[in-house]
A and B are shown apart, each in its own frame.
Chain A
Amino acid sequence: MFPWWLWVLLAIVVILLYLLWKRVQVPSISVSTDKSLYDRTETVTITGMLIDQSSTPMPGKAVPIAITPPVGDAYILAPATTGVDGSYSASWEIPDAADGGTYTINVASLGAAGTTTFT
């Protein structure tokens, strides 16, 4: 019915569209802490998930983490790496001389960004 070359062309177009779709997929990242209120010298446990647009976990990706205190410079943690289920975790011990107030955690990976706070 259709010439063979038309089928080949159609297949190429489908493959290109699939590759384009994969490329424009924007992942999303979540972040949370084990508690919302901490004392000084306590350890904050940070966890989250990195998934793509179809909610598929994205393993083996680096997740930089920054903690911004209410006053002063942000703390930069060593980047976490997502596991096979797309989850990651990190911990941070609150310094003895830390200021009281709201701390903001920022995470980012592959263009996705997440944020949460603790006190």
Chain B
Amino acid sequence: MIYLLRFGVILLGTILVALLLFIVAAYSSKSKVFSASTWTSEVIRAIILVAGLLGASFGFVDSMIFNPVTGTVIVPSSGIMLVGDIAFEIYWDVTGTNEVTMIEWGAMMPGDVMTVQFWVKNEGNTLLYCDTGTDEWVPSGSEQYFDLTWNFGETPVGSLRSRKVTLELHVHSDITGIDEFTFNIIIYGDVAPFTS
């Protein structure tokens, strides 16, 4: 389905561009070739045919190159970076004995959502607000195929308290090209709320 859709878009786009180029050339040129008398129905049909052939060719070549991931998408692991001038840590357990340093996502299918749960522990004496982000995507630009969300919320975690958080990684169903990715997860901590 995605092949057909992409083929159709490229076909129509190329036809439109080709027709526009003909029109621009016709208006801007003083050549007799583009004079009103030469715009017979045969010429117009030929232009449309050439534009259509161009569009079909581009669409065909693209569909040969276009390579959607139909098997598994591998995200071996994501490193975790905590950023902020506030004492906080993340742990796999509520008691805070098993620190989270890496998240293993493993194999996912396009369209899958993978979830992990951990605890954000405020080890400081002030309120803790958190936000999340990602960086160092490999290959570069692959972040367009993923959404990373969490349910930390906008309320702060009190001093010496721990919040259970679910992190979700969604792989888009139209993911294309290579099928192995890595990225880092950044968790920002602050004493003040983050403005979105």
Number of A-B residue pairs having CB atoms within 8 Å of each other in the complex: 38
Residues of A73-119 at the interface with B, using a CB-CB cut-off of 8 Å, are 73-76, 106-109, 113
The dominant DSSP class at the A interface is: strand
Determine whether B79 belongs to the interface, using a CB cutoff of 8 Å to chain A.
no
Determine whether A65 belongs to the interface, using a CB cutoff of 8 Å to chain B.
yes
Residue in B95, B158, B162 with the greatest tally of chain A CB atoms within 10 Å: B95
A44 nearest CB across to chain B (Å):
16
Contact with A along B2-26 (1 / 0, CB 8 A): 0000000000000000000000000
A26 nearest CB across to chain B (Å):
14
Whether B93 and A106, one on each chain, are in contact in the complex, defined by CB atoms closer than 8 angstroms, is yes
Given known contacts A74-B119, A75-B161, A68 and B94 CB-to-CB distance under 8 angstroms: yes
Q: Chain B interface (Cβ within 8 Å of chain A)?
A: 93-97, 119, 121, 157-158, 160-164
Q: Chain A interface (Cβ within 8 Å of chain B)?
A: 64-66, 68, 73-76, 106-109, 113
Enumerate 10 A-B pairs (CB-CB under 8 Å) in ascending A order.
Answer: A64-B96, A68-B94, A73-B158, A73-B163, A74-B161, A75-B160, A75-B161, A76-B121, A76-B160, A108-B93
